Structure 1
Amino acid sequence: MNLFANLTNVLNSDVLSRIATYIDEPTEKTSKAVNGLVYTIVGGLMKRTTSEIGVNQLYNHIQKGRYDGTLTESLTTVLRDPALTNTIITQGNDVISHLLPAMKSSIGSMISGYAGIRNSSAISLLGLTTTIVLHVLGKQVKDQKLDADGLAASLFGERDAFVNAVPEDFMPQLVEKVGLHQVVAGLAMPARRSTAESSGRSTTTTTRPVISYEPADDSDSENETLTKWGVGALIAVALSVGGYYLYQNTQKYSNGEEEARDVTSVAADTIQTDTVARSLAVPKDSTAKAAPKSTVATAATSSAGLTPANPTGGLTQQMTPYLGNAALPKGRVFPLTGITFQPGSLSMAAASQATISELANILKTYPRLQVQLVGYANDAQGDLTNKSLSFKRVNQIKQQLMSSGIDFVRIDAIGRGTGVAKNDTSGIAKPTLRKIDLKVVVK
């Protein structure tokens, strides 16, 4: 299947004309902008699926968002309704913030300059085009019964067509803005997940050691029978001892560390996803006093019921034994107690830089490591919400890690506000949180 040919069929002249009318831009400029966004989104998704997190997120968004191609079959009709069109745009912009974090506004600016349209028009087109691209991909997943790995492989199968299709005057800025150097050069490959997927959720698989032995002498049937029974008993004992040992050594890490739901699922009431770095421009509270050292990570457990690692000792000292033991499952949470902020602001304590540098070194030492930074806040001031403040804080940490040379696809930034969901109807009082956790997603 040629992805770009299918997108060209969907984005026909009638559809582009209706889109141009909706955003109040010339049809020619609108067409140029949409084409540029198709290349940007497809290229960005290729890069995103070079990590295990990205592979899972793209597949989960397609499955849970019900992107199955139905929109493309009635796109012309949908675009006649401004309310439905706006819904599609909003949905697409929300998804692009998950799949291409910290890039939405920068992509909008790039397309605005490339096609000569308003920046607001470019952002609207980004949301609309994203939804259309995902429906085309989703139809492929449905028709070919692809799993997440198959989707990533199929997407990378379009690399040559992608390189040939992108206009020469657009390719340099696209490569630079989205970071597609390795994709274009043919050096990037889709990641293959190390876990089995079941209904969009990760389940760690345990590989048992292969036990080999010499067969018994075929001339003695009685000895053969005894040998088989004896070997079977030895195997059973070995597996029992090994299982017990593994259970005892993993209990202290896995007990209580399973999240109530997949970290890649989209839940608007609990997660605010990455946006562009310029959204970090929150005025600092110059009158605020220095925050006490215990400002962040004061709670013993997170709202998702995760048991954090022992906060005592340096981050490297805590994480190294865990990361170096392949038998221990992924998913462990480490509280970043060394990173603190002044109340209600993004003003980070000077001592926090040491922890960020330490985390950057850990990520460089373990190049397969992929993490999530999960922020909680209960000290927002003025018009800023706790969810927004918690997200902006962890995203600030992410930006610093990226400046240290860490690829953005290895770091997810999530803000959960106070940690108490707005739709919580349990009636059980829950403490609000103010802390930052690091969760290991891929070891």
Structure 2
Amino acid sequence: MNLFNTFDTVFNPDVVSRIALYVDEPADKINKAVDGLVYTIIGGLMKRTTTEIGVNQLFSHIQKGRYDGSLIENLDQSLRDPAHTNTLITQGNDVISHLLPAMKSSIGSMISSYAGIRNSSAISLLGLTTTIVLHGLGKQVKDRKLDADGLASLLFAERDALINTVPDEFMPRLVEKVGLQQIVSGLAAPARRSATEAPTRPVASPSRQTATASRPPISYEPAEEEAGNNSSLAKLAVGGLLVLAVLGGGYYIYQNTQNYAGDEQIVTDAGPVTSDTIQADTVTRSLAVPAEPAPRSTSATAATTATGLAVGGAPTTPTGNLTQQMTPYLGNAALPKGRIFPLTEVSFSPGSLSMTSGQATVGELATLLKTYPSLQIQLIGYANDASGALTNKSLSFKRVNQIKQQLMSSGIDFVRIDAIGRGTGVSKRDTSGIPKPTLKKIDVKVVVK
């Protein structure tokens, strides 16, 4: 029996009716929503365990959260208490925010439209279903005595079942929203952490191990000590060699310092800026005879000043507008998250997904995501030029999702990128009667710095 059959048994008609009563939605729609969420959560966790960090995070959440299967053994009774049900929802939503960051709202929106329920109901169901799914996985961990690698393998064993079980109408949404292209095509595999786990006792670093293997241990004692004068002479000889080595090293340093000062080297923007080159540049500018400095790019200087050095050791040549805007913000830990940056250079042909400009900006964004590994973003799209059967909201989402796919193709993990479409940006609930301009743009919001 695969996991999906197990959860079919867990979400029996009595449990579904109890959940429907809690969220005040029809039971048939709740059943459809729960099915979609089980596929989404397992697929998302499967994708998460393609990285070593994801494997460790999932296993850690199951262990620390005490997800051992006890909840699903008597789920119907547990859901009779509204306060306890609310606790399970809150717990699940908190976990999903860590395991699938910046995706909670987009998953809720997908399930809401798929099952025809309110968005608030979909978010509640997401939290509840996540808690139940983790209990199901925790029970497998407990019963089979699985470690983190075993849990990842267990999830990937469900790949064929996922492909064969997900309804045809839901599969395209699931693949697009959660980023399961490589999993569905069979190109992805669970990460293995066994080879990189920390050893139980300290060992030398790789560089030190290599050095140790390539040369014999250094000893300051003579290889063979003889009694009498021979022993004393040997010790004196070794001491003399040490003194000569120290004097020689000091002379070498002195000579190199003089040569460096004589050359009057100037570090320009032509090469990568590292901590060493910054130090060299400081030494050069402090010399008694200043050299004529090479012209420096204003934008590059600003970026270097904001972060202390060029991002990722890249050359401090003039950068794009997005990099200039975001680098000082991302490099300053005191500034709060949540800032929105417009991708003004990105534009599309009317009513289509054809990007007419802004490809370089998307490349800049990919570089920033690689430079700041903890950065998580939300792409927000607006459109007012849809035609035919395509709505502005659908068009706005498709455009930002296309940018998301490009970022993923650049090697960015899908869990770091959320994509939402807001149509024209004018709310249907707006009853003020004041005309508001419709929008056509793409923004990037910093969710986590």
Q: 1:51 aligns to what?
A: 51
Kindly indicate whether residue 90 of structure 2 is the aligned counterpart of residue 84 of structure 1.
no
Q: Is the 8 A contact 2:329 2:335 kept in 1?
A: no
Q: 1:409 aligns to what?
A: 413
Distance (Å, rounded) in 2 between the aligned partners of 1:47 and 1:123: 21
1:321-363 deviation line (CA, Å, top 9, x unaligned): xxxxxxxxxxxxxx9546479988825599xx99996673377
Q: CA deviation at 1:84?
A: 0.3
After the TM superposition, which residues 251-400 of structure 1 pair with which residues of structure 2 at under 5 Å, given as runs?
311-317=307-313, 337=328, 339=330, 346=339, 348=341, 360-361=366-367, 371-373=373-375
Distance 1:349 1:182, change over 3 A: closer
Kindly indicate whether residue 141 of structure 2 is the aligned counterpart of residue 165 of structure 1.
no
Distance (Å, rounded) in 1 between the aligned partners of 2:155 and 2:11: 19
Q: 2:196 aligns to what?
A: 195
Distance 1:36 1:343, change over 3 A: closer
Q: Is the 8 A contact 1:196 1:204 kept in 2?
A: no
Distance (Å, rounded) in 2 between the aligned partners of 1:175 and 1:294: 41
1:181-223 deviation line (CA, Å, top 9, x unaligned): 1111111111223531699xxx999568999xxxxxxxxxxxx
After the TM superposition, which residues 136-151 of structure 1 pair with which residues of structure 2 at under 5 Å, given as runs?
136-151=136-151
Q: Is the 8 A contact 1:92 1:131 kept in 2?
A: yes
% same residue:
56
Q: Which runs of 5+ in 2 are unaligned?
A: 220-274, 276-300, 316-325, 344-357, 378-400, 418-445
- DSSP 3-state at the match of 1:25: coil
After the TM superposition, which residues 220-231 of structure 1 pair with which residues of structure 2 at under 5 Å, given as runs?
none
Write the letter of the residue equivalent to 1:30. I
1:220-248 deviation line (CA, Å, top 9, x unaligned): xxxxxxxxxxx99966559xxxxxxxxxx
- DSSP 3-state at the match of 2:374: strand
Write the letter of the residue equivalent to 1:371. P
Q: 2:243 aligns to what?
A: none
Q: Is the 8 A contact 2:304 2:310 kept in 1?
A: no
Q: CA deviation at 1:170?
A: 1.2
After the TM superposition, which residues 117-136 of structure 1 pair with which residues of structure 2 at under 5 Å, given as runs?
117-136=117-136
1:116-160 deviation line (CA, Å, top 9, x unaligned): 111111111111000000111111112222222221111101101
Distance (Å, rounded) in 2 between the aligned partners of 1:205 and 1:374: 35
Write the letter of the residue equivalent to 1:112. S
- DSSP 3-state at the match of 1:117: coil
Distance (Å, rounded) in 2 between the aligned partners of 1:410 and 1:205: 36
- DSSP 3-state at the match of 2:88: helix
Q: CA deviation at 1:41?
A: 0.6
Kindly indicate whether residue 119 of structure 2 is the aligned counterpart of residue 115 of structure 1.
no
Q: 1:224 aligns to what?
A: none
Distance (Å, rounded) in 1 between the aligned partners of 2:213 and 2:31: 68
1:52-104 deviation line (CA, Å, top 9, x unaligned): 22112111111111111111112111100000000000111111111111211
Distance (Å, rounded) in 1 between the aligned partners of 2:130 and 2:30: 15
Distance (Å, rounded) in 2 between the aligned partners of 1:45 and 1:112: 21
Distance (Å, rounded) in 2 between the aligned partners of 1:370 and 1:91: 29
Distance 1:236 1:73, change over 3 A: farther
1:252-289 deviation line (CA, Å, top 9, x unaligned): x9xxxxxxxxxxxxxxxxxxxxxxxxxxxxxxxxxxxx
Q: CA deviation at 1:25?
A: 1.2
Distance (Å, rounded) in 2 between the aligned partners of 1:197 and 1:339: 31
Distance 1:60 1:197, change over 3 A: farther
Distance 1:145 1:121, change over 3 A: same
> What is the total number of aligned residue pairs between the two structures?
290
Q: Is the 8 A contact 1:92 1:126 kept in 2?
A: yes
Q: 2:174 aligns to what?
A: 174
Distance (Å, rounded) in 2 between the aligned partners of 1:314 and 1:296: 5
- DSSP 3-state at the match of 2:5: helix
- DSSP 3-state at the match of 2:172: helix
Say which one has the larger Rg: 2
Distance (Å, rounded) in 1 between the aligned partners of 2:15 and 2:203: 44
Q: CA deviation at 1:48?
A: 1.2
Write the letter of the residue equivalent to 2:308. T
Distance (Å, rounded) in 2 between the aligned partners of 1:234 and 1:197: 26
- DSSP 3-state at the match of 1:371: coil
- Which one has more relative contact order, counting CA pairs under 8 Å at least 6 apart? 1
Distance (Å, rounded) in 2 between the aligned partners of 1:297 and 1:70: 55
Q: CA deviation at 1:405?
A: 1.2
Write the letter of the residue equivalent to 1:409. D
Q: 1:15 aligns to what?
A: 15
Kindly indicate whether residue 94 of structure 2 is the aligned counterpart of residue 101 of structure 1.
no
Q: CA deviation at 1:400?
A: 12
Distance (Å, rounded) in 2 between the aligned partners of 1:12 and 1:108: 22
